[in-house]
Amino acid sequence: MPITRSAKKALRQSIRRRTLNLQKKEAYKKAVKDFRKLLSAKKSAEAAAMLPKVYKALDKAAKTDVIAKNKASRLKSRMASALAKLK
């Protein structure tokens, strides 16, 4: 356990950041998973409506360094090409 005041504050900050990072990570993973389920079910209209939500979750995760910017870009590109292939 931290002893100094600054170490206690650092612990509080790291706990808060961890929870926020996990929320963003779970949000983008769930969005990608739901999108892929729609693609596998051949529901292109619903998938097209879901794509902006997936982009938003990925951009938020990349903006706060939960995932790398290139990973977000790569996932967005793959989602868009998979949707185009389905249509």
Q: Is residue 50 part of a domain?
A: yes
pLDDT in tens, 7-55: 999 999 999 999 999 999 999 999 999 999 999 999 999 999 999 999 9
Distances (CA, A) of 13 to 6, 16, 18: 10, 5, 8
Q: Give me the mean pLDDT over the 76-84 stretch.
A: 96
For 73, the domain range is 25-86
Q: Tell me: the pLDDT tens digits for 56-68?
A: 999 999 999 999 9
**Does residue 14 form part of some domain?**
no
The reply to whether 53 falls in a domain is yes
Q: How many Å apart are CA 25 and CA 36, to the nearest integer?
A: 17
Q: Is residue 16 in some structural domain?
A: no
Asked if residue 4 belongs to a domain, the reply is no
Domain-located, residue 49 = yes
Domain count, the chain: 1
